[in-house]
């Protein structure tokens, strides 16, 4: 799993988000942080406390799209 920090134009404060290797969001902070490093640090602490194993399967970006074609 990965910890990322993000901010949006409408909410410029930093927050952390934990995502698995398939790209799905696991948890997001409700607390805001002044710096990106503070957000990532708090997210890393939360990930360590969660103590979970990521068993997700990463989506293959090069998968054939035959299932999208009509026959």
CATH code: domain of residue 21:
3.30.160
Q: pTM for the complete prediction?
A: 0.73
Residue 31 lies in a domain: yes
Q: Which domain holds residue 8?
A: 2-54
Task: With respect to residue 60, please indicate whether it lies within any of the assigned structural domains.
Answer: no
Considering the domain boundaries, does residue 64 fall inside one? no
Q: Residue written as tokens 């409700």?
A: 30
CA 47, CA 4: separation in Å to the nearest integer?
A: 11
Q: How many domains does the chain have?
A: 1
In-domain check, residue 61: no
Residue 70 lies in a domain: no
Higher pLDDT, 70 or 2: 2
The pLDDT value recorded for residue 44 is 95
* pLDDT value at residue 55: 82
Between CA 51 and CA 48 the distance in angstroms is 5
Give mean pLDDT, residues 39-61: 87
Longest CA pairwise span in the chain (Å) = 54
Residue 62 is assigned to a structural domain of this protein: no
């Amino acid at each position: 799993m990965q910890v990322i920090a993000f901010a949006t134009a409408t909410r410029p404060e930093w927050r952390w988000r934990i995502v698995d290797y398939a790209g799905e969001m696991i948890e997001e902070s409700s607390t805001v942080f002044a710096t990106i490093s503070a957000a990532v640090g708090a997210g890393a602490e939360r990930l360590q406390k969660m103590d979970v194993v990521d068993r997700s399967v990463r989506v293959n970006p090069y998968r054939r799209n035959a299932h999208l074609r009509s026959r």
